[in-house]
Amino acid sequence: MDWKIFLSALTTIFLAELGDKTQLASLCLAAESRSVLSVFLGAMAAFSLVTVITVILGGAWGKLLRPEIVRYIAATLFVAIGLLMFAGKL
């Protein structure tokens, strides 16, 4: 295992997710349901599934495209989603 890449991914995603809407949704679900374990397991399963899909897609893109192109595509998607959220479409 490459610990430098592991720590980079951990730090980047941890900081990006702080205060994210999914974190706030998990907080609200746990407060409403009073079943913290169920919310934790459901949230972990959802995050794991999303991460598996993302890593598989990223690995496939990495084999087909140069890393710069993957970064441009990711940045474009990030901006597009942000604009759609700002416009109230998401």
Tokens of 89: 């479409």
Instruction: Give CA–CA dist 37/42, Å, rounded.
Output: 8
Residue 6: pLDDT band with limits 50, 70, 90: very high
pTM for this prediction = 0.65
Average pLDDT for 25-40: 91
Terminal CA-CA length for the chain: 37
Q: 29, 46 in Cβ contact below 8 A?
A: no
pLDDT value for 21: 82
pLDDT of residue 13: 87
Q: How far apart are CA 75 and CA 6, in angstroms?
A: 21
> pLDDT per residue over 10-30, tens digit each?
898 888 888 788 888 898 999
